[in-house]
């Protein structure tokens, strides 16, 4: 299974933390990192200087006019569209391989499970009791590939023309779309165990369940790369060293 992620220069330090966590678990060779031109050379340097084996691809559609794409902004919407374009490519039935898509602000804490559902999403619920909506920052697709491909096509064709920054009445991002489109398409899917696949609300705002070792933390529910990094550091989930970042110009 390949691990797919994407990053601009603005989230470069966060994705470096994700790559460092993959290297610690010996799964960095499974990573495919897609980045804009501004971050491409940094990503290759990170691979070379730190011995990380991720495959790095330049993808022009990810490019932004600036390095900041905070939630709800017009630049955030461009990143969302680029993510959906990427999902269309990696889930296309003609060239499909099982994949786990992750946003840049994720970090692995423990090894991946051996068994996977066919299609699963991280839960975006703010507690451990409610199932909540699906989160588009963590998507597992083993089979059928066509489900995600059709979903992504539906989001882009049906909704991208109406996307506007929050708090517009027409605000419509990938997560809003998937929670509307999945039921309409009658696609079966599962939610990953919320105690093992922590979103930001559960990771940072709630005590963790005893005797449970999370597999992954997603620093969503926090706006801004600096705040995400600060809270990951405070929890001991910042796994890339400052020296390594400095060596790579990040």
Task: Name the domain count of the chain.
Answer: 1
76-104 mean pLDDT: 85
In which band, very low, low, confident or very high, does the pLDDT at 161 lie, cut at 50, 70 and 90? very low
Per-residue model confidence as pLDDT tens digits over 210-225: 889 999 999 999 989 9
Q: Which of 48-62, 109-123, 165-179, 191-205 has the lowest mean pLDDT?
A: 165-179
Domain limits at 220? 2-247
Nearest Cα neighbor of 3 from 69, 60, 70, 52 is: 52
**Would the pLDDT of 54 be above 70?**
yes
pLDDT at residue 181 above 90?
no
- Locate 24 and state its tokens: 């610690």
Residue 68 pLDDT greater than 90, yes or no:
no
Q: With 90 as the cut, is the pLDDT of residue 145 above it?
A: no
Looking at residues 219-240, what average pLDDT do you find?
A: 96
Mean pLDDT of 230-236: 97
Q: What is the mean pLDDT of the chain?
A: 84
User: Taking the mean position of all CA atoms in its chain, how far away is CA 34?
Assistant: 12
Cβ pair 160, 147 in contact under 8 A: no
- At 75 the pLDDT is 73
Rounded to 5 degrees, what are φ and ψ at 138? -150, 105
How far is 72 from 176, CA to CA, in rounded Å? 12
Token pair, residue 239, equals: 């796994």
CATH number of the domain that residue 101 is part of: 3.90.550.10
Could you give the CA distance from residue 11 to residue 28 in angstroms, rounded to a whole number? 18
């Amino acid at each position: 299974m390949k691990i797919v992620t994407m990053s601009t220069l603005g989230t470069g330090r966060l994705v470096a933390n994700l790559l460092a966590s993959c290297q610690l678990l010996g799964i960095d060779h499974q990573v495919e990192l897609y980045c804009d031109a501004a971050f491409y050379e940094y990503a290759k340097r990170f691979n070379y200087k730190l011995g990380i084996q991720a495959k790095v691809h330049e993808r022009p559609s990810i490019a932004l006019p600036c390095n900041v794409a905070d939630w709800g902004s017009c630049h955030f919407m461009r990143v969302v569209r680029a993510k959906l374009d990427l999902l269309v490519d990696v889930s296309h039935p003609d060239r499909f391989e099982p994949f786990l898509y992750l946003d840049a602000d994720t970090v692995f804490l423990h090894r991946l499970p051996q068994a996977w559902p066919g299609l699963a999403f991280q839960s975006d619920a703010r507690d451990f009791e409610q199932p909540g909506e699906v989160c588009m920052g963590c998507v597992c697709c083993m089979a059928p590939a066509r489900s995600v491909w059709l979903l992504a096509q539906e989001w882009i064709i049906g909704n991208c023309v109406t996307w506007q920054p929050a708090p517009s009445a027409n605000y419509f991002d990938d997560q809003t779309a998937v929670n509307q489109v999945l039921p309409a398409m009658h696609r079966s899917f599962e939610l990953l165990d919320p105690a093992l696949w922590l979103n930001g609300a559960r990771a940072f705002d709630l005590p963790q369940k005893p005797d449970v070792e999370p597999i992954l933390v997603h620093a969503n529910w926090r706006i801004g790369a600096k705040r995400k990094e600060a809270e990951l550091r405070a929890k001991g989930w910042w796994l890339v060293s400052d020296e390594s970042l400095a060596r790579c110009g990040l």
